Amino acid sequence: MTRVFYDADADLAALRGLTVSVYDYGSVGRAQALNLRDSGVRVLVCERPDTPGARRAAEDGFELVAARGEAARRGDVLALLVADLAQEALFREAIAPELRPGKMLLFYHGFALHYGRVKPPRDVDVVMIAPKGPGDLLRQTFVKGRGVPCLVAVHQDASGHAWERALAYGKALGATRAGLIETNFREETETDLFGEQAVLCGGTSELVRASYETLVGAGYAPEVAYFEVLHELKLVVDLMYEHGISGMRERISETAVYGDLTRGPRVVDAGVRERLKEILGEIQDGRFAREWMAENAEGKPRFKRLLEEGQNHPIEGVGRRLRAMMPWFHEG
């Protein structure tokens, strides 16, 4: 049975006297650094000089360390909060030379380690704390005395204290107020990639565009099509987010529920389910990771072309015009 850890299971004393070096002061890094400091943990921020992140970290009162190797040398817990494909160079060039027994590497996503791009020595702790929400939400809930659930994994426990320190780090973020859910690097990485590709980004965006094209191609107004297949999606997703699928069905019309129950399986049919298995297989055997790393090595030509094609889709122009009619989107 999956273990879930709460406040009573973690002790901040496990981080007492230790320094956390936070690499990258973006949305994720800022939220974690602020929560850690507010929980009594000593934090250094590693950012390149004269960047927006460095300026904001200075405004927030953090000690800034520009040299990545120095941050690795001075830190006991090294929080690698940079993008997946940036972790390999950071680790090889700056962190690996400074690793000593007793240090702990902390990841927020398992991609680089799971696919062998980062290979820590056996005498350091390797853990992961993966928040199930963006950085801004992690910070906002913490300030309000609540928390965002996180996944926790220990890949290497060289010191014998990796679990204690990982749980303490999660508690310092506020995660144990909601729950720290045990996982491992393989499970987190593969399910995260699959969720992004099949539902959260790839599946959803392509279904929205295809549905828009179907309605407009049948002669319906683009504005009406936009509202039906994109704008109202948030309303339904919010209901699912707050109440689950069954709870969502309790809160919409019976006509909508009947269409959901009878037509949904025709949209996501046996062929779609087979292709979902194919996509998962490409993640599991490393084909997607190799493809993405090769794409980056070539300067991302396909990525840029597909991104531009998406930006030029007719639904984007219609959406910009309609969203301008709803100024409350931009308030604050």
For the chain, the farthest-separated pair of C-alpha atoms sits apart, in whole angstroms, at 67
pLDDT at 192: 97
CATH number (domain holding residue 170): 3.40.50.720
- The label of the residue with tokens 């790839």 reads 202
In this structure, the answer to whether residues 35 and 159 fall within a common structural domain is yes
Q: Which domain holds residue 54?
A: 4-183
In sequence order, what are the residues at sequence separation of 6 or more whose Cβ sits closer than 8 angstroms to the Cβ of residue 297? none
Same domain membership, residue 175 and residue 117: yes
- Residue whose structure tokens are 């993405």: 292
- Total count of residues recorded for the chain: 332
The answer on 169 and 206 residing in a single domain is: no
228 belongs to an annotated ligand binding site: yes
> For the segment 28-57, what is each residue's pLDDT rounded down to a tens digit?
999 999 999 999 999 999 999 889 999 999
> Is 246 assigned to a binding site?
no
pLDDT tens, residue order, the chain (332 aa): 899 999 999 999 999 999 999 999 999 999 999 999 999 999 999 999 889 999 999 999 999 999 999 999 999 999 999 999 999 999 999 999 999 999 999 999 999 999 999 999 999 999 999 999 999 999 999 999 999 999 999 999 999 999 999 999 999 999 999 999 999 999 999 999 999 999 999 999 999 999 999 999 999 999 999 999 999 999 999 999 999 999 999 999 999 999 999 999 999 999 999 999 999 999 999 999 999 999 999 999 999 999 999 999 999 999 999 999 988 877 65
N- to C-terminal Cα distance for the chain?
43
The verdict on 71 and 13 lying in the same domain is yes
pLDDT for res 63: 96
Are residues 100 and 168 both part of a single domain?
yes
Same domain for 42 and 99, yes or no, is yes
Contact 8, 67 (CB under 8 A): no
pLDDT digit string, tens, across residues 103-147:
999 999 999 999 999 999 999 999 999 999 999 999 999 999 999
* Alpha carbon distances (Å) from 110 to 113, 123, 156, 299: 6, 19, 13, 23
Which residues are marked as active site? Answer: 109
Q: Are residues 178 and 223 in the same domain?
A: no
- Rounded Cα distance between 194 and 283, Å, is 7
232 known ligand binder: yes
- Return all residues near 46 (Cβ < 8 A) that are at least 6 apart: 21, 22, 23, 24, 64, 65, 66, 67, 68, 71
Q: Is 196 annotated as a binding residue?
A: yes
Residue 1: the pLDDT is 82
Is 48 within any annotated ligand binding site? yes
Q: CB burial class (10 A; 0-12, 13-18, 19+) of residue 217?
A: exposed
Q: In this structure, is residue 277 part of a structural domain?
A: no
- The total number of structural domains in the chain stands at 2
Distance separating alpha carbons of residues 205 and 13, to the nearest angstrom? 45
Q: What is the separation of C-alpha 256 from the centre of its chain, rounded to a whole number of angstroms?
A: 32
